[in-house]
Structure 1
């Protein structure tokens, strides 16, 4: 009998989400965290010290994810020029300040838009190779499970919000990603709004199509030295 009632509760939640909460918005905070291996690598001690200093002086930055049952869009929350600190902020740069991420699970596409060398590019990328674990914790009142994709790289997702989306490239998991860590960049959900009456999802215009591998190679060849 208990299993029957549990099934009813789960069915009711999923039905309610699909029928009433067709669109939602998540506010994320992006922070640079000091990785444990900053003293390692092939770079010089001077370069490592500069990186550590930039990490220490980086400040939190805000991004937002808008999603419905099929699509998602993730980007930085724009601020007035007078509110932007001109100093280098790794949280903003590495968080993807110049990119707009878009995913459509029904059409099976995902890309981010970015302007480079005077052209608008749509960069198509692959999901991380996640390993699901049984480790769990609560984020904003939602039960989350941990998925890893390398040393010190992980994402916490909640099946209680059954969409395959997350901040930036952290998607493709069986639930909304509410926290992620990758190369010292910590992304944490701070607020979730499931009021579809006040949210709109705009599909970004597709630019010049390119794979992420080719795009990285293109930027490397055209980098200023």
Structure 2
């Protein structure tokens, strides 16, 4: 009798798993993301501590965010949860507009088509950045941990870093900020007349992900995908993405639509547009190394 119960239970679990995989289900996952950034040397000796604190407080809202992932078996949208701005925040002005261009807008992924689309607004102009999904060579481990009610398995990979990835930018020469594995990869070299001569971006970072086969979809937060289950946690360089809530087959399903608005460009083309605009602003406002002549200085 005991053997019958065990066999029946196993068959029932298998049936449920097959049923979930077969049906056109949809889910929603909420992720809290946080990026740590060293502000100790920001601005050098020319900036007051009060001004540094103001910038750090403004940066906090950009480095700690909540995202919503709506997904089905092959498609997903990943959007930042809208929140009211604190009184006196002022929207960040030119600084806030610049940072939002680095961090990106709503994102769409299609696993079957190996497609990723990212909405971007840059100085009032709308772009649609189109690329292939990154091919991540995951190493699956046997280590497990519990995230909420889900059993998750560990996976690691080494990921190339986009040269304009704001979350991985650091002041040049800060060897103490390098993490294990980064010393094996050279950092991006900049020419002396480059607009980013004071910062560098590692060419590669080690990524650790935790995924659950209990939700059989090959997607996760941001660009991450390609594992045999929903990714619930990601640690990449200085950024941690942690799933805090999951709703399967919500009563009010969100539409998962492919974005179409904006000038379509590749990631490389969009990066060049940003670099050209930043160089133009440095000339206009007379930044260090600028040749703006009569341009005013802030």
Return the alpha-carbon distance in structure 1 between the equivalents of residues 12 and 108 of structure 2. Answer: 32
Distance 1:183 1:67, change over 3 A: same
Asked whether the 8 Å contact 2:31–2:242 carries over to 1, the reply is yes
Match of 2:67 among 43, 63, 70: 63
Match of 1:139 among 147, 165, 182: 147
Return the alpha-carbon distance in structure 1 between the equivalents of residues 133 and 249 of structure 2. Answer: 30
Q: Could you list the per-position Cα deviations for residues 24-80 of structure 1 after superposition, in whole angstroms to 9, with x for gaps in the alignment?
A: 10111111246xxx69xxxx94459969x8499725321100001121000101123
Unaligned runs of 5+ in 2: 46-51, 159-180, 182-205, 283-298
Q: Could you list the per-position Cα deviations for residues 67-94 of structure 1 after superposition, in whole angstroms to 9, with x for gaps in the alignment?
A: 0112100010112346795587x9xx68
Unaligned runs of 5+ in 1: none
Return the alpha-carbon distance in structure 2 between the equivalents of residues 123 and 82 of structure 1. Answer: 33
Larger gyration radius, structure 1 or structure 2: 2
Q: Which has the higher strand share?
A: 1
Distance 1:215 1:143, change over 3 A: same
Higher relative contact order (CA 8 A, sep 6+): 1
Distance 1:172 1:214, change over 3 A: farther
| Pair 1:113 & 2:119 matched | yes
Return the alpha-carbon distance in structure 1 between the equivalents of residues 29 and 150 of structure 2. Answer: 13
Match of 2:32 among 22, 26, 29: 29
- Report the TM-score, using the length of structure 1 for normalisation: 0.76
- Report the TM-score, using the length of structure 2 for normalisation: 0.59
Distance 1:58 1:163, change over 3 A: same
Distance 1:205 1:57, change over 3 A: closer
Distance 1:168 1:48, change over 3 A: farther
Give the stretch that moved more between structures: 22-31 or 205-214.
Answer: 205-214
Asked whether the 8 Å contact 1:125–1:211 carries over to 2, the reply is no
- How far off is 1:145 after superposition? 1.4
Match of 1:103 among 90, 97, 109: 109
Q: How many residues align structurally? A: 215
